[in-house]
A and B are shown apart, each in its own frame.
Chain A
């Protein structure tokens, strides 16, 4: 499986290494690995964040991620790719998502990795509810553009 949802903490770098070791698609032709790891930070929208709950739509979420992965493989020359995403309760500093892409060349690897995480953020049915230090919890209503404001 190259798309995995997990309700428990995972080590993104161990997942990447394990996948690379097991993958039959990665032989001597692999020249580039690009990866993105998203972790839970302790602030958002000016407030201190103390934790997060991640809801998803079982079935549709996996289907959507698989579709994004398939499109990436059609648009770039990729050897393999991997998406791991947390669901449920997440603690500060834990990994939320891993995207890893293997290719013969860096251009394909970088571009496809960026495409997969941006499409995931726009389309994949996940919803974050963050716990705040000041008061209770709130649903995150939108993802940022990915740059510090």
Chain B
């Protein structure tokens, strides 16, 4: 399966890239996606997740072609 990944703000800077395409088998959840790109480390505390531009919990399932985004707490307005 292929997952498009996007990072924003401080997390984008920390990752050193704004996104990437992940091709992997056995990715079930958003947390699995994170661990695949972060060498197995857990999702940083307070990180927010979205799948196809909708907020989800890190345990939400992913499917082929999904866009998964990781970002820090939002600070608009």
Contact = CB atoms under 8 A, between A and B. Distances in A.
Bind each other: yes
Interface in A112-145: 117, 120-129, 139-143
Interface residues of B, number: 16
Contact of B8 (A97, A124, A127, A142): A127
Nearest to A143: B75
Nearest to A65: B76
Contacts of B55: 123
B77 A97 contact: yes
Interface in B50-76: 50, 53-55, 69, 71-76
B9 interface: yes
B8 A38 contact: no
Contacts, number: 71
A46 interface: no
* Residue from A60, A96, A97, A120 with most neighbouring chain B CB atoms (10 Å): A60
A: interface residue count bin: 20 to 34
Nearest to B50: A60
B10 A139 contact: yes
Nearest to A59: B53
A85 interface: yes
Interface of A: 38, 54-57, 59-60, 63, 85, 96-97, 117, 120-129, 139-143
Identify the 7 closest CB pairs spanning chains A and B, nearest first. A126-B76, A127-B9, A60-B53, A121-B77, A140-B75, A139-B10, A128-B75
